[in-house]
Amino acid sequence: MRRVSAAGFKPAVARALLLPDWWDDTCADDPALVPEIEFRVARFLGVSLAAVRDPRLSLAAPAYRGAQLRRVRNITLDRVAPAIHVGLRVAEATVRCWRGGAPMVDMPPIDPETWRQNIPRTKGVVRLDGMLSDLWTRGIPVVHIETMPSPSFQGMVCLIEGRPVLILAHDFDEPARLAFIIAHEAAHAVFGDCAADHPVVDEDDSVEDEGNTERRADHYSIRVLAGPQRLPTLKSATPKNLARQASALERNTGVDASLIIRRWGKEHQKYDVATLAVKALYKATGGKRLIREAFDQHIDLEGASETDRALLRCIHGDPRRYATSD
């Protein structure tokens, strides 16, 4: 396990990923269980049992040289490789454990406004729950991984047997912000930006990226959430006044008030003020719960293998770590 830690999977992450359901502290003193852990490590890292059993050999996550790392600040691909590896392994387990078998993939339309028309809306507003319902129905899962190696990423889209899987890994809980990130990652799949073993990894949406790929994904996401209109603008004000303005604009335009506020915060580089304004609307939390509810509706944890259950324990809302849903 020290070698696993040196590979980028610190003890808390390694325990969640690799140890069986029945493991307790006394198991660590039982040498008869070593082969079980060796097998799990080999399977997780994709290396031979001989390599795991040889203490002279170091262990490492695959390099994923083909991954596209976007919107980065002081981070390199080799440092985020363990997080990418966890994301891919969890994505594979999610697809394997689809209740009744994963359906055929129905990709969102390349025209974002057409997709917007297909998403169930609440009072004319595209919200996170409607987007999740649409994506899962299309055979595209969305998961929020809570237990990840550090450094991690904000969002990733990968292909598992040709199926896009959208992964979130930062601790965001604001529904509108999560909806924007999910639509952005979906855009990468729609435009063919990712390929097998070549995921697109977005590290931080506050970092500007002038590349065509990221600008196109941002534009797509905004059009899905806001339609053809320009995002309404707000006048500089206190958080409560910003909240009032955005709430009125939501009723008149059908654009989520939180999205309007977040765009104002990004334009003026006042992220903290925007956060306070969203909190004033009581729209700052609940996104992770919605993602988990959609996951539970479609994924069969009881029928999953023990190793898949270990991987899926890393997803937010795991019942072993949450006595009640938050």
Residue range 63-99, pLDDT digits in tens: 888 888 876 666 788 889 999 999 999 999 999 999 9
> What pLDDT does residue 311 have?
93
Work out the percent of the chain whose per-residue pLDDT is above 90.
67
Provide the CB-side half-sphere exposure for 70 (13 A, CA): 27
Radius of gyration of the chain (CA): 21
Instruction: Say if residue 156's pLDDT is above 70.
Output: yes
Distance CA 185, CA 182 (A): 5
> What would the mean pLDDT of 186-213 be, rounded to a whole number?
82
Classify 195 as helix, strand or coil: strand
Instruction: Say if residue 208's pLDDT is above 80.
Output: no
> What pLDDT does residue 321 have?
64
> What would the mean pLDDT of 206-221 be, rounded to a whole number?
80
In degrees rounded to 5, what are phi and psi of residue 315? -80, 140
Work out the percent of the chain whose per-residue pLDDT is above 70.
94
> What pLDDT does residue 197 have?
79
> What rounded mean pLDDT belongs to the chain?
90
Distance CA 9, CA 263 (A): 36
Instruction: Say if residue 295's pLDDT is above 90.
Output: yes
> What pLDDT does residue 207 have?
58
Domain ranges, ordered by start, for the chain: 2-53, 62-228+286-326, 231-284
> What would the mean pLDDT of 8-30 be, rounded to a whole number?
88
Distance CA 199, CA 104 (A): 20
pLDDT-derived band at 54, boundaries 50, 70, 90: very high
Distance CA 323, CA 326 (A): 9
Structure tokens at 296: 């539970």
pLDDT-derived band at 28, boundaries 50, 70, 90: confident
Identity of residue 146: E
> What pLDDT does residue 320 have?
67
Strand positions, DSSP E, 51-109: 68-70
pLDDT tens per residue, range 101-151: 999 999 999 999 999 999 999 888 999 999 999 999 999 999 999 999 999
Question: Contact, 233 vs 262, CB < 8 A?
Answer: no
Segment among 61-65, 203-207, 240-244 with least mean pLDDT: 203-207
pLDDT-derived band at 47, boundaries 50, 70, 90: very high
pLDDT-derived band at 195, boundaries 50, 70, 90: confident
> What pLDDT does residue 25 have?
84
pLDDT-derived band at 326, boundaries 50, 70, 90: very low
